[in-house]
A and B are shown apart, each in its own frame.
Chain A
């Protein structure tokens, strides 16, 4: 009897192996992947979003985790193997064509997996805004009462300068259970300020940082922190540039050292409310929000980011 049990255990394991290996070997034929070149065949997905519908509901969340981890590694590898500077506003040069199919498959497997949406909202707009919107709309369809998805959608629409739709998304999210008051405030700001101000941008990224911390979504939080610091550095540089201009107007030349413009900074008109003021190091040099000193570009007489600063230059 034991021999029979062993034989059938092996047969069952073999049958399972055949079942999974045949699916694993299946090349994805969906429209989204139809354009994949032969050179990237090793990056094909094992399962399409459509195929995953038939998977056991007990294992779907685990397989969704696997696709989520794969999507992080996929983008990480693209960035590590890329040549030249990375522009976080436009990642198309990395050719990350499988990112959306991976996230879409993970979303289909587990529509309640919120990190997929926050990651998609943070990274996909730099590849294809429409794909980011599509992912979030699928998420809203599956979780119509979750206000966070409306906030992600509003954020993506705001980034694509679609302020009216962004305001609508914030408004729709504001009436969902548990939605915080800032959802309605953001809708108003989108309509009144046309979302062009740094204040709106900082508020959007501040919400991303806070929600990332709340959900332990490190990727999205780090992305938002970087963008927030980028805006702060822009505000600091506006003040420094204004002081440099005042110095040149007064002395007829550009300043050679940062200490020379300190008195001119104090005489400048007040900065807009909420704008980050320049911060100075021990030797009087202005430092950016990451703690790296700004560089004085004497040729153009402006303040610039150091090459060693992690803040995006574009």
Chain B
């Protein structure tokens, strides 16, 4: 059975335990989730990424009048974000829902695992997978830059930008897990995708809200602005292409914002999942 390895890896003791025991259980679920995504061939996207970066390194020299390093940085960072977001959304929405649909959730929750530990473990499992993806894609980007002679000039700024992109992907994954905890995969995908898009337009949303004359509409849009994740906080592609490195303050504030948003999303997800009736 496909999920045998997953269930057998969980702690077998009958008591739930306290202290650091929950960390071990979350880690076990996370590792199993990671293995599951590897089995689902999620890493195949890296082949497409490498092919695109190789083609860019070869072809752009003819088109960009000496700006190939910059274009490779822009293309590479955009691909890291797009590929990562697709993995976060398409895999994230199935993390919990798939267990429910295949009824393996009964086997897992029959073991001494709290529901919130299950949700958090699933979340971290996908975050590990995204981290591996992002690291390999960054290596591919480095290889392409090295090929055109721009590695030394751009890699520090690229690494800074990639760290911020990874924070963004962690936020998107948390949103996907939240929807996955109570909604169908189709609706979860729709909602997460919409939030990903709107999250990139939060500034425009605020401008739009400020320009609205109607009282109710302005307040509703303002609420949306504050509730939706402001993903522009994690955007550093433009300065990275100019060779700038993100300041420590920017990275720390982005990390704090991401952590706050992730904690909120996962708390709601755990609360919803904890009350859910699987009968």
- A interface residues with partner B (beta carbon < 8 Å): 1, 4-5, 7-9, 11-12, 53-54, 56-62, 64-65, 68-69, 72-73, 110, 112-115, 119, 215-219, 221
Q: A58 with B77: in contact, given A65-B70, A72-B65, A217-B66 (CB under 8 Å)? A: yes
A216 to B66, CA, bound (A): 5
Minimum Cβ distance to chain A for residue B184 (Å): 7
In the complex, per-residue mask of B189-214: 1 if CB is within 8 Å of any chain A CB, else 0: 11001000000110010000000000
- B interface residues with partner A (beta carbon < 8 Å): 63-67, 69-71, 74-75, 77-78, 81, 90, 93-94, 97-98, 101, 165, 184-186, 189-190, 193, 200-201, 204, 231-232, 235, 237-239, 241-242, 244
Contact residue among B204, B237, B238, B241 (Cβ-Cβ distance under 8 Å from A53): B204
A215 to B239, CA, bound (A): 15
Q: Which residues of B contact A5 (CB under 8 A)?
A: 90, 93-94, 185-186, 189
Q: Which residues of B contact A221 (CB under 8 A)?
A: 66
A218 to B65, CA, bound (A): 5
Q: Which residues of B contact A1 (CB under 8 A)?
A: 94, 97-98, 101, 184-185
Q: A217 with B238: in contact, given A7-B186, A59-B78 (CB under 8 Å)? A: no
Number of A-B residue pairs with CB-CB distance less than 8 Å in the complex they form: 103
Residue contact B241 to A58, C-beta cutoff 8 Å: no
Contact residue among A7, A11, A69 (Cβ-Cβ distance under 8 Å from B63): A69
Residue contact A12 to B189, C-beta cutoff 8 Å: yes
With A58-B77, A59-B237, A61-B238 known, 20 other A-B pairs at CB within 8 A are A1-B97, A5-B90, A5-B94, A9-B90, A56-B201, A57-B232, A58-B200, A58-B235, A61-B241, A62-B75, A65-B71, A65-B74, A65-B75, A72-B65, A110-B241, A113-B241, A113-B242, A115-B70, A215-B66, A218-B66
The closest CB in chain A to the CB of B75 belongs to A62
A57 to B77, CA, bound (A): 12
19 A-B residue pairs with CB within 8 Å: A1-B98, A1-B101, A1-B185, A4-B184, A5-B185, A54-B201, A58-B78, A59-B237, A61-B74, A62-B78, A65-B67, A68-B67, A110-B241, A113-B241, A115-B65, A115-B67, A115-B70, A216-B66, A217-B66
A60 to B78, CA, bound (A): 9
| From A112, A119, A219, residue with most partner B Cβ within 10 Å | A112
| From A7, A112, A215, A216, residue with most partner B Cβ within 10 Å | A216
A258 to B112, CA, bound (A): 100
Q: A12 with B190: in contact, given A4-B184, A62-B78 (CB under 8 Å)? A: yes
| From A11, A53, A61, A72, residue with most partner B Cβ within 10 Å | A61
A56 to B235, CA, bound (A): 9
A295 to B101, CA, bound (A): 86
Residue contact A114 to B232, C-beta cutoff 8 Å: no
A7 to B190, CA, bound (A): 11
Minimum Cβ distance to chain B for residue A16 (Å): 9
Main secondary structure of the interface of A (DSSP, over half): helix
The closest CB in chain A to the CB of B77 belongs to A58
Residue contact A219 to B65, C-beta cutoff 8 Å: yes
A12 to B196, CA, bound (A): 12
Residue contact B200 to A56, C-beta cutoff 8 Å: yes
The closest CB in chain B to the CB of A70 belongs to B63
Q: Which residues of B contact A59 (CB under 8 A)?
A: 78, 237
Minimum Cβ distance to chain B for residue A111 (Å): 8
Residue contact B65 to A61, C-beta cutoff 8 Å: no
Residue contact A217 to B78, C-beta cutoff 8 Å: no
Residue contact A62 to B67, C-beta cutoff 8 Å: no
Residue contact A110 to B90, C-beta cutoff 8 Å: no
User: Which 6 pairs between the two chains have the least Cβ-Cβ distance?
Assistant: A216-B66, A218-B66, A56-B200, A57-B235, A112-B242, A4-B186
The closest CB in chain A to the CB of B189 belongs to A8
Contact residue among B232, B237, B239 (Cβ-Cβ distance under 8 Å from A62): B237
A54 to B231, CA, bound (A): 14
Minimum Cβ distance to chain A for residue B247 (Å): 15
Q: Which residues of B contact A53 (CB under 8 A)?
A: 204
A91 to B129, CA, bound (A): 54
The closest CB in chain A to the CB of B240 belongs to A61
A61 to B63, CA, bound (A): 16
Minimum Cβ distance to chain B for residue A110 (Å): 5
Contact residue among A58, A69, A217, A219 (Cβ-Cβ distance under 8 Å from B237): A58
A114 to B185, CA, bound (A): 45
A115 to B200, CA, bound (A): 26
| From B64, B69, B232, B244, residue with most partner A Cβ within 10 Å | B64
A175 to B115, CA, bound (A): 62
| From B165, B186, B235, residue with most partner A Cβ within 10 Å | B186
The closest CB in chain B to the CB of A19 belongs to B197
Residue contact A62 to B65, C-beta cutoff 8 Å: no
| From B74, B193, B201, B232, residue with most partner A Cβ within 10 Å | B74
The closest CB in chain B to the CB of A110 belongs to B238
Q: Which residues of A contact B165 (CB under 8 A)?
A: 58
Minimum Cβ distance to chain B for residue A224 (Å): 13
